[in-house]
A and B are shown apart, each in its own frame.
Chain A
């Protein structure tokens, strides 16, 4: 088995884990969103890699039976997923702005402290 031959998938795994780690380990809401975006991008990468056919060209129909095409469907799916990802990021950043207006901070630990203080009062 040629492990390095699948290096695209290794990149996917590294990006995915890096994204998840940032998402879990960081308290800053904007950094969390960066983590989520990296995580989602790794999935786009996974789909695109999957559709690659060895020696395949762009899926444009020509009259030559010897030509092989890359699978266009995952590209189309990922186009949709990218739009969804952009929408998610937009909603998250809008929420971050609102949180900043309401709390004066976007650090989750400070927000938690503010909430706890409110509860005690």
Chain B
């Protein structure tokens, strides 16, 4: 049984999804999806415990040994990311019940939860597979279900957002497919460990270079790295807010994981950053991302759109850490993948609570929300402080590490720009916090008088995630040492 855990990790949601189609009942399909997600989460925990001592699980599917067969390759790094995906999925699913009941016709609920399970199948599959072509297949499973989930948004603009994402996402995935094809042509293998061994002495280095370029561009699109982030803004804005909360914490993070895995483990740090100067591509893009997107976020009037811009900016921080290609830099990137995943999901859940009661997320009409929805407001404020990176929050731990990594490399200017971007974050989050807490409402007697707090089933998941992110903020040393050993694993490459 314990040997089969890697297969179960993917099979549970994959088998669960069609069963939901058979169930059809809105409440039961939700309950079943949540059950499957909890089980998947438990499997992730068990896997992480197995590899936490630095060991590696290599699971050959169908008993065909790699490199002939497809294998799941699980080490500390991707067990952690799988845990993030299944954990956030579970928390948001509990939350989604009330939120989706309000925004979606009950006859379509089962389709929504079916799509959700397929999405986690794809995301976890991307993370734990050790086969390059398998990455593409799982990527498309997760992408197709994501397009479907986004299209469930109540506004008709959700359909257009979903279509745009489909076009860009398919181009990105096709680029990845081309890249994998060239890698296969150059090396004759698809297994990632085998690829890493064969790339250095390939007969056709130019094919490897082409593969590298296509894979990089494809993944930059999927991870919404500036300037290829266009799809993210509308998708996050118009999707059902539970979907946005889930995607903000997982989808782009999984693509970033693949990027890191390819650069450091498959192509090797020396090839990616030493020979190809990848840092001179990634760092300017990252700096431009967090400066411009933080600035644009200040001027947004819709809370979801503001947070979407902020997501692109935060991805910029992660990419800055990756582009350093040092132990500290990569530690900062890994820890920020987790911290930002938790914080941004909490924020979107709080926005979902506001939408649940008010029906819109227009920032100017949020004034004195604190008196009407105190729990939601408190959660938003605390998570918002985490996004800024105030000490004792999770955001502080990762930003502090990132800045010290930059200074370590003598890139003080970039560190200064990160501080500047943080000041802008204070502006856009602070503006909302100020409105929530203080401003007397202008104009006619407030239309949102008499809002009540949201149901407890929405508050509990939101607060549990918030508590977790605060815990990692106060006891930052733990997450840093875990991320540190993950970074070490990545920099070392495949054993």
Chain A residues close to B by CB (< 8 Å): 20, 23, 29, 32, 36, 39-40, 43, 46-47, 50, 73-74, 77, 80-81, 84, 87-88, 91-92, 95-96, 98-99, 102-103, 108, 111, 115
Q: Does B170 count as interface, using CB distance less than 8 angstroms?
A: yes
How many A-B contacts at CB < 8 Å in the complex?
66
A residues near B442, Cβ cutoff 8 Å: none
Known contacts A74-B181, A77-B133; decide if A91 and B159 are in contact (CB<8 Å): no
Chain B residues close to A by CB (< 8 Å): 133, 136-137, 140, 144, 147-148, 151, 156-157, 159-160, 162-163, 166-167, 170-171, 174, 177-178, 181, 184-185
B residues near A88, Cβ cutoff 8 Å: 140, 144, 166, 170
The distance from the CB of B370 to the nearest CB of chain A, in whole angstroms, is 29
Partner of A102, one of B148, B159, B171, B177: B159
B residues near A81, Cβ cutoff 8 Å: 136, 177
B residues near A46, Cβ cutoff 8 Å: 178, 181
Is the CB–CB distance between B166 and A91 below 8 Å? Answer: yes
Partner of B178, one of A29, A43, A95, A103: A43
A residues near B159, Cβ cutoff 8 Å: 95, 98-99, 102
30 pairs from A and B in contact (CB 8 Å cutoff): A20-B171, A23-B171, A29-B163, A36-B167, A36-B170, A36-B171, A40-B174, A43-B177, A43-B181, A47-B181, A50-B181, A50-B184, A74-B184, A80-B137, A81-B177, A84-B136, A87-B140, A87-B144, A88-B166, A91-B147, A92-B163, A92-B167, A95-B159, A95-B163, A98-B151, A99-B156, A99-B163, A102-B156, A102-B159, A108-B160
The distance from the CB of A102 to the nearest CB of chain B, in whole angstroms, is 4
A62 to B171, CA, bound (A): 41
Partner of A111, one of B140, B160, B166: B160
A residues near B144, Cβ cutoff 8 Å: 87-88, 91
Extra contacts besides A92-B166, A98-B159 (4): CB < 8 Å: A43-B177, A84-B136, A99-B159, A102-B156
Is the CB–CB distance between B167 and A95 below 8 Å? Answer: no
Q: Interface majority SS on B: helix, strand, loop or mixed?
A: helix
Is the CB–CB distance between A40 and B181 below 8 Å? Answer: no
Considering only CB atoms, which chain B residue lies closest to A20 in the complex?
B171
A residues near B156, Cβ cutoff 8 Å: 99, 102-103
Is the CB–CB distance between A91 and B167 below 8 Å? Answer: no
B residues near A50, Cβ cutoff 8 Å: 181, 184-185
A18 to B140, CA, bound (A): 23
Considering only CB atoms, which chain B residue lies closest to A46 in the complex?
B181
A residues near B163, Cβ cutoff 8 Å: 29, 92, 95-96, 99
The distance from the CB of A19 to the nearest CB of chain B, in whole angstroms, is 9
A102 to B166, CA, bound (A): 18
The distance from the CB of B89 to the nearest CB of chain A, in whole angstroms, is 21
Is the CB–CB distance between B151 and A23 below 8 Å? Answer: no
A80 to B147, CA, bound (A): 20
Partner of A95, one of B166, B171, B177, B181: B166
Considering only CB atoms, which chain A residue lies closest to B168 in the complex?
A23
A77 to B136, CA, bound (A): 10
Is the CB–CB distance between A32 and B167 below 8 Å? Answer: yes
A residues near B160, Cβ cutoff 8 Å: 99, 108, 111, 115
B residues near A40, Cβ cutoff 8 Å: 170, 174
A20 to B157, CA, bound (A): 24
A91 to B151, CA, bound (A): 10
